[in-house]
Amino acid sequence: MQQLDKVTINFNNESLWVLNIALAIVMFGVALNITTNDFKSLLKQPKLVLVGILSQFVVLPLATYALVLIIKPQPSIALGMMMVAACPGGNISNFMTHLAKGNTALSVSLTAFATFIAIIMTPFNFEFYGNLYEPTAQILRTVELDAFELVKVVLLILGIPLVLGMLVRWKFPEQALTIAKYLKPFSIVFFVALVIIALANNIEVFNSYVKHVLWIGITHNIIAIALGFGLATVFGLSFVNRKTIAIETGIQNSGLGLLLIFTFFNGLGGMAILAAFWGIWHIVSGLLLALFWSRKSSKIVLD
């Protein structure tokens, strides 16, 4: 069997540019719902910020490294796990938090806050843990990853659309909300369609190797959700905020991860398939969890 470390997912330059634009539009759409008051409200509750940032950028990457040491997957899969763990929360976490009857305002604010921090922390965590584990360090040495280029791409895809979206919201609040209402679902569907196209063009590779990432991706995602909920519990947060932190930690921006994988690693098999599977699975797990919590909350209210 050919190892995933030697397999690549084909994704041409034109599709890569479209993926860049799609991700930027998604982030712009998210930013249209964000105001400076969201940041101010977070600063008034520093514990929520601390727990959210710790969970996403400290505990999850560290736990991912520990999981890699325990299960010892193929190096490219391990690197894919580290990439996903290094990314900030995904934008659909806001919708899932709302569905779960969590703290939607906190979710939106943490998405924005984490996105700004991710400009530095995503490249740092990926480089740090990737080089800490020798099998993945060998891959990084092979591709000669430029940390500055990695930061630049993250800044272009996350930082600039976020700032532009907030500026539009500040200058034209009513129009921004109207645009966001239609832009967000369209951009998400557009992005998912691109991922499906990428998989369709490589369906034989995906079908041959997805079994190698299936249980790893599911386990990794469950651990991420549990870590977020557990850490929030340790810090004594309310059940509403525990749900929010759990979803923010378990719903990662795998789209950003895929973009970086195609940009810097030429669609390296294990990385790309793990990130693509995570992107599909976290929607399933997030919706199931949100629906469960939604019904549980409704039952509590009725009782």
| Per-residue pLDDT reduced to its tens digit, 137-148 | 988 888 766 777
pLDDT of residue 302: 38
CATH number at residue 289: 1.20.1530.20
- Mean pLDDT score, 45-61: 91
Cα–Cα distance between 96 and 294 in angstroms, integer?
10
Confidence of residue 303 (pLDDT cuts 50, 70, 90): very low
What phi, psi does 21 have (nearest 5°)?
A: -65, -40
Lookup: tokens for 253: 């921006």
pLDDT of residue 49: 84
- Mean pLDDT score, 214-241: 94
Closest-CA residue to 258 (of 274, 244, 245) = 274
Cα–Cα distance between 241 and 142 in angstroms, integer?
42
Q: Is residue 235 included in any domain, yes or no? A: yes
Q: Is residue 119 included in any domain, yes or no? A: yes
Helix (H, G, I), strand (E, B) or coil at 40: helix
Q: Is residue 61 included in any domain, yes or no? A: yes
pLDDT at residue 2 is higher than 50: no
Closest-CA residue to 82 (of 291, 288, 252) = 252
The rounded percent of the chain whose pLDDT value lies above 90 is: 29
* Helix count and strand count (H, E) for the chain: 15, 0
27 contacts: CB under 8 Å, gap ≥ 6: 91, 115, 157, 158, 161, 162, 165
Cα–Cα distance between 16 and 20 in angstroms, integer?
6
Pick the most confident of 9-13, 35-39, 87-91, 243-247: 243-247
- Mean pLDDT score, 178-207: 71
* Total tally of structural domains belonging to the chain: 1
The model's pTM is 0.84
Rounded to the nearest integer, the mean pLDDT of the chain is 82
- Mean pLDDT score, 18-44: 75
Pick the most confident of 238-242, 275-279, 282-286: 238-242
Q: Is residue 302 included in any domain, yes or no? A: no
135 contacts: CB under 8 Å, gap ≥ 6: 75, 78
DSSP-derived secondary structure letter, 265: S
Q: Is residue 303 included in any domain, yes or no? A: no
Lookup: tokens for 222: 């469950």
Confidence of residue 116 (pLDDT cuts 50, 70, 90): confident
- Residue holding tokens 């480089």? 127
Domain residue limits at 27: 4-297
Confidence of residue 10 (pLDDT cuts 50, 70, 90): low
Helix (H, G, I), strand (E, B) or coil at 286: helix
pLDDT, greater one: 137 or 39? 137
pLDDT of residue 175: 86
- Residue holding tokens 């991912």? 64
Q: Is residue 188 included in any domain, yes or no? A: yes
Helix (H, G, I), strand (E, B) or coil at 7: coil
pLDDT of residue 155: 80
pLDDT of residue 1: 41
pLDDT at residue 160 is higher than 90: no
Buried b (16+ CB within 10 A) or exposed e, 23-38: bbbbbbbbbbbbbeeb
Confidence of residue 43 (pLDDT cuts 50, 70, 90): confident
